[in-house]
């Protein structure tokens, strides 16, 4: 049975975004809709002076804002199309738009065919009826075809992105906060240890889950064990005993509807990114969920052919399950009515039982939970949260 919810005036299918199995039907093709009124700030942001806007129409759907296609004529007579995204979620909206702009810029610099070029982000001159700011992103328009793309071509291009990318500091992280949908991530820091950064990422997501759903003692005791024991056990070996891993630029939220085949070129492309430099295998954590068509074994198998598994190789599946927790918990926070929180708890239990069975048995009888509700050790994120509260 299909469950529907209303978000931002869009009715959407919970099973499509947070279900427990991949939808049987193809991804709906984005449609050109009604006329979209362009703010003067967007018109001024068009990259070529003297450009004449021919039309602006709603295009596709965004759960957190609006998207549009702009068709324009350049001074030399050539026609050019642009993609526009707008969000009016206050400070969070600014983080989303600026983070996606920086993500697309970084991705496009490494692989111009894989990610659209982002021209500019900014703020509307006009505000909402309630006086809130509206932020926008202007990028190249690419018409969405098959979603997700062909597994052989797509995974080859993705692996190439990961391999060719170079962290500017040689460390894991990013120079700015990026978002998973509308959830700010802990990316605005640099860590030599991938284990340390992933722990910060997951701890931050757990904190947001607590703020959204309230206490669930058994779940949060398991979270503590994952953070304090399982993450070091599975991720520290990647960078010990002579082993190393390269910080790779990742999209950060690759699922069926953030990937597509370009209708003009036939090449795969990715969008709606929340990037940072991570262990490349982190990208595939989102593909474990059966709700995604990317969970098809062809995608993982072909990716591995292009980017060999990190050592210890026999722990690839355990790491993949660990990385999936971050994505699935984000879905649990974002999508009301889904069962992802229970799935995360069950998957955490599997990892704890495998690697720390005695400690896991002990926490089943413990009622006291340490302070996971405390703010993650991330000063800039704390300042951003305080600013949002003031607004």
Q: Which one is predicted more confidently, 64 or 282?
A: 282
pLDDT in tens, 162-210: 999 999 999 999 999 999 999 999 999 999 999 999 999 999 999 999 9
- pLDDT, tens digit, for every residue of 191-201? 999 999 999 99
Contacts of residue 69, defined as CB under 8 A and 6 or more positions apart, other chains included, come to: 32, 56, 57, 59, 81, 82, 83, 84, 141
pLDDT mean over 137-141 = 98
In percent, the amount of the chain with pLDDT more than 90 equals 81
pTM of the predicted protein model:
0.90
59-63, Cβ contacts within 8 angstroms, sequence gap of 24 or more? 59/30, 59/31, 59/32, 59/33, 59/83, 60/30, 60/31, 60/144, 61/10, 61/12, 61/30, 62/8, 62/10, 62/87, 63/7, 63/8, 63/10, 63/12, 63/17, 63/181
Is residue 8 predicted with pLDDT exceeding 50?
A: no
The rounded distance, in Å, linking the Cα atoms of 124 and 127 is 7
Question: Any idea which of 28-32, 218-222, 248-252, 325-329 has the lowest mean pLDDT?
Answer: 28-32
User: pLDDT per residue over 67-113, tens digit each?
Assistant: 999 999 999 999 999 999 999 999 999 999 999 999 999 999 999 99
Q: How confident is the model at residue 19 (pLDDT cuts 50, 70, 90)?
A: low
Mean pLDDT of the chain: 90
For the stretch 243-282, pLDDT in tens is 999 999 999 999 999 999 999 999 999 999 999 999 999 9
């Amino acid at each position: 049975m299909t469950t529907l919810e209303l978000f931002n005036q869009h009715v959407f299918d919970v099973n499509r975004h947070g279900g427990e199995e991949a939808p049987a039907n193809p991804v709906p093709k984005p449609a050109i809709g009604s006329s979209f009124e362009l703010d003067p700030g967007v018109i001024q942001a068009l990259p070529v002076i003297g450009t004449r806007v021919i039309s602006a129409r709603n295009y596709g759907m965004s759960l957190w804002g609006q998207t549009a296609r702009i068709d324009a004529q350049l001074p030399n007579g050539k026609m050019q199309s642009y993609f526009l995204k707008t969000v009016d979620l206050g400070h969070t909206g600014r983080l989303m738009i600026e983070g996606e702009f920086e993500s697309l810029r970084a991705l496009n610099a490494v692989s111009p065919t894989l990610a659209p070029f982002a021209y500019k982000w900014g703020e509307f001159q006009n505000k909402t009826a309630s006086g809130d700011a509206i932020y926008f992103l202007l990028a190249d328009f690419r018409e969405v075809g098959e979603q997700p793309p062909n597994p052989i071509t797509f995974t080859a291009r993705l692996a190439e992105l990961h391999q060719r990318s170079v962290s500017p500091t040689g460390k894991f992280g990013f120079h700015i906060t990026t978002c998973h949908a509308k959830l700010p991530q802990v990316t605005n820091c640099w860590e030599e240890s991938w284990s340390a950064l992933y722990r910060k990422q997951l701890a931050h997501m757990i904190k947001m889950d607590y703020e959204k759903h309230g206490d669930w003692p058994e779940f949060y005791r398991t979270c503590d064990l994952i953070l304090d024991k399982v993450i070091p056990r599975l991720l520290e070996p990647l960078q010990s005993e002579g082993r190393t891993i390269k910080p790779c630029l990742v999209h950060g939220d690759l699922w069926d509807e953030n990937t597509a085949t370009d209708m003009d070129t036939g090449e795969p492309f990715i969008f709606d990114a929340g990037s940072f430099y991570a262990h490349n295998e982190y990208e595939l954590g989102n593909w474990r969920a059966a709700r995604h068509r990317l969970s098809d074994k062809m995608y993982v198998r072909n990716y591995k052919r292009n980017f060999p598994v990190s050592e210890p190789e026999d722990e690839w599946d355990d790491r993949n399950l660990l990385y999936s927790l971050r994505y699935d918990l984000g879905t649990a926070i974002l999508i009301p009515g889904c069962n992802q929180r229970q799935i995360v708890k069950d998957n955490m239990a599997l990892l704890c039982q495998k690697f720390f069975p005695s400690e896991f048995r002990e926490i089943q009888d413990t009622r006291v939970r340490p302070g996971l509700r405390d703010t993650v050790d991330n000063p800039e994120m704390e300042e951003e949260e305080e600013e949002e509260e003031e607004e």
